[in-house]
């Protein structure tokens, strides 16, 4: 048996029955994997070797061999040299088996492939490749292979086991994607990561957590992170401005987050303070593209780091221009004013005719020019605010939970309590904005919105949860439930709790161990 302790989408970490922690490299010298009397033993599981040999012959797309706890990827190693075929093979096995068993990939212990393979959901490896490499004088290091004149098995084993410990820790800390992006040292690893991104940016979007740890957007691959693609898709296809008819002000990002706490943004805000009610401020940044001011304190806008060089790649320019085009098609503004430095000049051809770009951005005189330009356009166009007092709050709610959420801006009020903004409806707290988490948390008083819409729901057996809800107690979950989603817990429609999903919906339904929901109240 095994028990999952933490997930990161397809990746998982936990404890096996013998106390071993996975992700795990089986140690053949310690008897964790062995062959005897025609039987392969994997810890406490056994497989007939003849059956294994037959399954290792290509026959279209076999589903590996199942044991009590594992699915052995019999064709995994032969297919690894062809990443697209390997990925189809793996995806086929996962779609059949889900989270019911751990995936074991025999014959692989390459430290430069392990991060992406763990990210893809493989939990068990073995030391066969490691022992062969070590005998041949191949030494593993943090930057690639080296040649050694000695048997370096001890050193190589230490490198791999340390890496697996780091991957396990990163799953628990929700930073696995950062580790994977910083570890792709081979063409095979990059190809597999791109295949995974296509899956999780498409048919399996809800596999990826809705919130992770800090986002280190240090490579071009960050443009395809599922949480970032999910964000851009919402801005492009669903987002509607809470301030229609206003003057759109485009400004660059800052290193400090939220942007409005930075020195550069404070200067801008101070200069335009008398006119902000006529404006909608939107920040230009990579890899997110566009960040409306009201979303700047939510995930992912408040939780990413990106190298600030002033250089934009071809992919980044295309991403930004495509997003601006779709954004302006979906949203109505009186004019567009771009207050950006020279390196943003590539957006000029994308902006509409009623747009203007101003100055260098970083000098005091530029700030004054911005103030004058804003005032002149407001005076000339006679812009009248067409937004409600709490429209920005509803925009936050719809961003996190979906555009289906009703407009409650006329009915709510904001109460400050314990340094948190509480969204109150009919005298009861419905949501709490938690900047440290970059999200809104729900309460039982807002649960009816979700039960009526059939969204973010986890149905449990007939009991009253007081803390954690384990997978064994889950009956079903709506398919929009992803890891770290805010969820409403109910039994036959009766609300029992609210909390945070700690597993994807499919894992909750298929597993009998592990925490499915962390209950808040």
Q: Give the pLDDT mean for 127-152.
A: 89
DSSP sequence for 415-462: EEETTEEEEEETTEEEEEEETTTTEEEE-GGGHHHHHHHT-SEEEE-S
Where do the DSSP E strands lie in 217-324?
Answer: 247-252, 279-285, 289-292, 304-305
Report domain 215-381's class. Answer: alpha beta
pLDDT-derived band at 147 (thresholds 50, 70, 90) equals confident
pLDDT-derived band at 55 (thresholds 50, 70, 90) equals confident
Q: Does residue 480 surpass a pLDDT of 90?
A: yes
Q: Does residue 498 surpass a pLDDT of 60?
A: yes
Residues 6+ apart with CB under 8 A from 346: 312, 317, 320, 321
- Is residue 135 within 8 A of residue 151, CB to CB? The reply is yes
Q: Which one has a higher pLDDT value, 481 or 201?
A: 481
pLDDT tens per residue, range 107-131: 999 999 999 999 999 999 999 999 9
Q: How far is CA 78 from CA 27, 108, 304, 489, in A?
A: 22, 11, 38, 44
Domain ranges of the chain: 2-200, 215-381, 411-519
Q: Which one has a higher pLDDT value, 151 or 104?
A: 104
| Residues composing the chain | 521
Residue 136 phi/psi, 5° resolution? Answer: -90, 10
pLDDT-derived band at 62 (thresholds 50, 70, 90) equals low
Q: Does residue 23 surpass a pLDDT of 80?
A: yes
Q: What is the structure's pLDDT at 386?
A: 76
Q: What is the structure's pLDDT at 58?
A: 66
> What's the rounded Cα separation, in Å, for the pair 477 and 481?
7
pLDDT-derived band at 241 (thresholds 50, 70, 90) equals very high
Name the β-bridge partners of 416. Answer: 421
Report domain 411-519's class. Answer: mainly beta
Least confident of 59-68, 363-372, 462-471, 493-502: 59-68
- Is residue 485 within 8 A of residue 456, CB to CB? The reply is yes
Chain CA centroid to CA 83, Å: 23
> What's the rounded Cα separation, in Å, for the pair 430 and 424?
6
Q: Give the pLDDT mean for 386-392.
A: 87
pLDDT tens per residue, range 180-193: 999 888 889 999 99
Name the β-bridge partners of 499. Answer: 487, 519
Residues 6+ apart with CB under 8 A from 142: 159
- Is residue 482 within 8 A of residue 505, CB to CB? The reply is yes
The total of other beta-carbon atoms located within 10 Å of residue 182's CB is 13
Q: Does residue 202 surpass a pLDDT of 70?
A: yes
Q: What is the structure's pLDDT at 59?
A: 59
Q: Give the pLDDT mean for 389-399.
A: 95
Q: Which one has a higher pLDDT value, 260 or 199?
A: 260
pLDDT-derived band at 311 (thresholds 50, 70, 90) equals confident
Residues 6+ apart with CB under 8 A from 320: 284, 286, 289, 290, 312, 346, 347
The model carries a pTM of: 0.94
Please give the share of the chain, as a percent, with pLDDT higher than 90.
78
Cα 185–Cα 101–Cα 58 angle in degrees, nearest 5? 65
Residues 6+ apart with CB under 8 A from 458: 469, 474, 476, 477, 478, 481, 487, 488, 489, 490, 501, 508, 516, 517
Name the β-bridge partners of 82. Answer: none
Q: Give the pLDDT mean for 362-368.
A: 85
Q: What is the gyration radius of the CA atoms in the chain, in angstroms?
A: 26
Q: Give the pLDDT mean for 332-357.
A: 87
pLDDT tens per residue, range 242-298: 999 999 999 999 999 999 999 999 999 999 999 999 999 999 999 999 999 999 999
The total of other beta-carbon atoms located within 10 Å of residue 390's CB is 20
Supply the mean pLDDT for the chain.
92
């Amino acid at each position: 048996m095994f028990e999952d302790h933490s997930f990161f989408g397809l990746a998982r970490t936990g404890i096996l029955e013998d106390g071993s922690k996975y992700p795990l490299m089986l140690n053949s010298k310690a008897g964790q994997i062995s062959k005897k009397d025609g039987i392969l033993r994997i810890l406490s599981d056994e497989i007939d070797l003849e059956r294994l040999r037959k399954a290792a012959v290509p026959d279209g797309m076999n589903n590996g061999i199942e044991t009590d706890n594992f699915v052995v990827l019999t064709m995994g190693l032969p297919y690894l040299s062809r990443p697209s075929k390997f990925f189809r093979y793996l995806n086929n096995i996962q779609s059949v088996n889900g989270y019911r068993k751990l995936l074991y990939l025999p014959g692989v212990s390459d430290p430069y492939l392990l991060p992406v393979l763990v990210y893809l959901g493989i939990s068990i490896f073995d030391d066969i490749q490691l022992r062969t490499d070590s005998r041949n004088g191949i030494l593993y290091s943090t930057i690639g292979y080296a040649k050694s004149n000695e048997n370096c098995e001890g050193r190589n084993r230490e490198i791999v086991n340390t890496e697996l410990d780091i991957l396990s820790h990163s799953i628990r800390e929700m930073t696995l994607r950062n580790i994977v992006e910083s570890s792709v040292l081979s063409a095979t690893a990059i190809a597999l990561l791109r295949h995974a991104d296509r899956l999780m940016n498409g048919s399996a979007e809800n596999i990826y957590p809705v919130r992770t740890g800090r986002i280190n957007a240090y490579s071009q691959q960050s443009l395809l992170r599922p949480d970032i693609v999910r964000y851009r898709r919402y801005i492009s296809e669903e987002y509607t401005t809470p301030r229609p008819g206003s003057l759109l002000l485009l400004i660059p990002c800052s290193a400090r987050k939220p942007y409005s706490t930075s020195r550069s943004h404070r200067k801008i805000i101070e200069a335009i303070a008398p006119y902000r009610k006529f404006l909608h401020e939107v920040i230009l940044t990579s890899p997110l593209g566009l960040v409306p001011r009201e979303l700047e304190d939510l995930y992912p806008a408040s939780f990413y780091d990106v190298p600030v060089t002033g250089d934009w790649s071809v992919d980044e320019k295309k991403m930004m221009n495509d997003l601006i085009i779709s954004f302006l098609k979906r949203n109505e503004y009186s004019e567009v004013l771009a207050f950006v430095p020279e390196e943003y000049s590539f957006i000029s051809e994308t902006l509409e005719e009623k747009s203007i770009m101003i100055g260098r951005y970083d000098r005091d005189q530029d700030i004054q020019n911005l103030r004058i330009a804003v005032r002149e356009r407001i005076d000339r166009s006679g812009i009248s605010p067409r937004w409600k007092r709490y429209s920005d709050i509803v925009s936050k709610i719809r961003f996190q939970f979906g555009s289906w959420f009703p407009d409650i801006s006329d009915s709510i009020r904001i109460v400050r309590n314990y340094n948190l903004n509480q969204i109150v409806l009919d005298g009861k707290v419905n949501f709490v904005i938690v900047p440290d988490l970059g999200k809104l948390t729900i309460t039982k008083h807002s649960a009816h919105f979700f039960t009526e819409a059939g969204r973010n729901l986890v149905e449990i057996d007939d009991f009253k949860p007081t803390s954690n809800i384990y997978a064994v107690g889950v009956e079903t979950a709506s398919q929009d439930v992803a890891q770290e989603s805010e969820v409403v817990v109910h039994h036959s429609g009766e609300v029992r709790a609210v909390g945070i999903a700690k597993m994807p919906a499919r894992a909750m339904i298929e597993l009998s161990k592990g925490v499915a929901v962390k209950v808040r109240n």
